[in-house]
Structure 1
């Protein structure tokens, strides 16, 4: 609450907040966001041009184009599709240097800057965070963890027998997912659900956002190392989501590799496994995007990666984007769930009264707080990554593989705890002892 309005805290959240998957390295300023060197030269602390900073890899961008022209629930709430340019300063902080509140530049869509009056700049950042809240809830959280996990789960039950080793491997990672999604459909994303009540979206708007997101959903976009690489985020400092996520990905990959090698003596064995091939094909069908997902697996290596994708996204990725919700959404001005005043079309027209009238009202705010708190809670009998009390596997080599997996996860936990001791804000959402096995909240 003390630092929420500071630029460094705004930027920090794109790396380590609830939605750490939107930020990308910017190598060229898009035409729709005509930021010039003259506009931002006062914020580029290395004394070089914007073009040189772009070449050096110090400029980042967040683009909420997915929200353009999405219908709102009424004329009393508003939604924008903003763009935000960020800069890695000499303290290795990511700070905003330009914000445009629409996808169409022009006189009625000014580019807001840190040098503008404090209320203009504060409100521009609020608009970005409000857009981020919606994309986080519907795309990063709902679609890319909850709903895709259900596709894997349904295909598993339909195509794999209970004695199949992959069924045994995946079963703990789909525990309660269909049940929690049924509750979400009824209480969160229905026409009378909480998301519509607290946000600016109509039911049609919600469907439209998810539909747009499905068009770009690919198998590669669920592969953690590839997503980091694609966004140009391999080298940005203090990106703890990436650092911890890579350690978890590698631990899961190593464990899955050990298990696959026990049951599949060659690539040919994978090809001949009818149940696995049907499972993979069923998943591609269930994604409604079948050309973007593999329909068969030909090697042990492909099988290992595929199962790593399933386990990582149902456990670690969900934990990363779910359990910080009360931390980051518990202070409403930091991430307004809706805006009740239209975005300013000119600079210098905003004061604190305008901002207060534009923020969510008491009813929406209290409902948003309650929801964020409830979704951030662990269950009393939570089963965390590496915990397999049912012990579906009876073979000793697999039991040994599970022991090694637990040991590796313990090392990751200790590494994260040690790192966090030196941080002003700890990052613990991807600590293995805080990662439930499945999407169950």
Structure 2
């Protein structure tokens, strides 16, 4: 008899244990073993959380090169069927060969589950008929479990799921994540309800009253925002390093609908617009996607959402200062251009309307569409089209963690008919649909790739732009890692073209994510290794660094509501010189709208205890030495970048931390 040494690793995560009987069958190129009950001196504790258990499986003859294992578990008479989360199985053959079978998935039934040996194989390399058959069967099952659905016409498709319990086990939150998420959500709302504010539909009497609510949940940055939200230089700073650094661009020619003159913005004739534009010192933020959007009604009061244009000037001391604001797209007598020289509340109200427009642009386009919804498309297409043994699956699966459940929660609790965003934001309801559809038509491939996006917006050399600085370095680090891994597996452009699973993955993304619109530059097929590397870099960057940049600081910048009102109750002023503090307070959202917005932004900014930083891979999907070395190099570069960012931040009055690799999660998980 020949003995195979089998070692089973149960994951060290909550509820991973099983007390059922576990069985295994080994399948090789020359035969297969009998189905073997895995039993040893550890008894029922062999498969508890974090356990490593060793067994022997005896065979009459050599099985040859191991290709597959089959695992199943059967409930004991006195124990109910439970869920088990094995991490991996390692097997040493009688000939001394070692095989690793990555699993990292729930087994919650008594069916037989097949797992491939860990060496990454593209479809055309999978020569053994058992390997090919298991590959086909795996994708067939996945395509039944992960079906496309249309949540709203005109936006990226999503995973079909009737409710959270219908999500496949593999993509659900861990017990730890689920418990913490529900506790944080409940605690925030409970505190607000105990204060008697969640149902209060009155306006704010003064800023002190807002402060009394705000002081219950503060961060260092939210404190800074409260103190400086009226300052013009901080208003400008937020376009670079706040939660929406994606709209600002260098202005070389004034838009026809923004008739700003030198006398308006440079009354002392110290500068001229033409000269400053030529020098690259004038910048524009244009919220044209908000134009004509139907604002919602909240507490039986009509809300208002503008489509402003904002002109900014980089001063000789490298500050970015707003110099003109027009709150509607069409110039008119009742649509004045507001200036810093106007009265205090004229200018402050104009900035408040801009910040409210920015909230809606950020949440729907920059945050929801360009990170959450696209990350879901990348994940669903991966799960439907790429088997576990494929190198692309091994590379990308850690970057899909929790994305499908967090998006399902968002559709249920944020943007549904009764969702918080729908009920309490100016763009909730019909406006939200309009903005999302317009936003998708504005997405281009280059706008998702940081180096090209920065160049196209003319922002290569604007000072104090830390989103750019950290983002470009992160993009390059991710790109080098992706290049190293994929170049190891794809030796020629022909292999990329030949890989039918890879090509179906990209085609599904094109069809279901970008709705088959070819004019945006999104590829529908991949022809070269370089094209593949660039696209996969974008996928990882979008779900990790980009999401962190536009998500983590939400409460920092939005906790103090006047800096980021989620809705406004009065129309903008049509004449100058009439606005007062009372006008401002009557314009700001009601108490319940404010606290619901605060609670949601607090929840979405919290890091869970099972947070996995970018580049950390607790689940070892790669078994070959080359990609494992690439991962170590990737982690080293990320650590060095993190140290450099921390060192830089010590010198900054307002530290920029959102793209510090230690603070960036591997995936869209919140």
Instruction: Say yes or no: TM over 0.5.
Output: yes
Aligned Cα root-mean-square deviation (Å): 1.0
Pairs within 5 Å for 1:235-250? 235-250=461-476
For the pair 1:96 / 2:319, whether they are aligned, the reply is: no
| 1:39 alignment partner, one of 264, 270, 274 | 264
Whether the 8 Å contact between 1:147 and 1:181 is mirrored in structure 2 is yes
| TM-score relative to the length of structure 2 | 0.65
Query: Higher helix share goes to which structure?
Result: 1
Q: Which runs of 5+ in 2 are unaligned?
A: 1-225
Q: Does 1:64 align with 2:64?
A: no
Query: With CA pairs under 8 Å and 6+ residues apart, which has the higher RCO, 1 or 2?
Result: 1
CA distance in 1, matches of 2:572, 2:543: 37
Is the 8 Å Cα contact of residues 215 and 289 (structure 1) preserved in structure 2? no
Q: Distance in 2 between matches of 1:19 and 1:34?
A: 26
Match for residue 375 of structure 2 among 149, 171, 176: 149
Superposed, 1:18-417 pairs within 5 Å as 18-42=243-267, 47-74=270-297, 76-287=302-513, 288-291=515-518, 292=520, 293-417=522-646
Alpha carbons 1:85, 1:96 under 8 Å: kept = yes
Is the partner of 2:322 in helix, strand or coil?
Answer: strand
d(CA) in 2 for partners of 1:14 and 1:223? 19
Distance in 2 separating the partners of 1:193 and 1:5? 31
Aligned to 1:435: 664
Mean CA deviation greater in 67-76 or 8-17: 67-76
Are 2:421 and 2:428, in contact at CA under 8 Å, matched by a contact in 1? no
Bigger strand fraction: 2
1:151-206 CA-to-partner distances (Å, cap 9, x unmatched) read 11111011101100001100000111111000000101111111122211241110
Aligned equivalents of 1:352, 1:257: Cα separation in 2: 56
CA contact (8 A) 1:384 1:436 kept: yes
> In structure 2, do the counterparts of structure 1 residues 214 and 289 end up closer, same or farther at CA, with 3 Å as the change threshold?
farther
Structure 1: 5+ residue runs without aligned partners? Answer: none
User: SS of 2:310's equivalent?
Assistant: strand
TM-score (norm 1): 0.98
Separation in 1 of the partners of 2:404 and 2:516? 21
Could you list the structure 1 runs, at least 4 aligned residues long, displaced by more than 3 angstroms after superposition. none
Q: Structure 2: how far apart are the matches of 1:202 and 1:306?
A: 33
Partner of 2:122: none
The separation in 2 between residues aligned to 1:48 and 1:103, in whole angstroms, is 26
Give the corresponding residue for 2:235: 10
Does structure 1 conserve the Cα–Cα contact (< 8 Å) formed by 2:378 and 2:509? yes
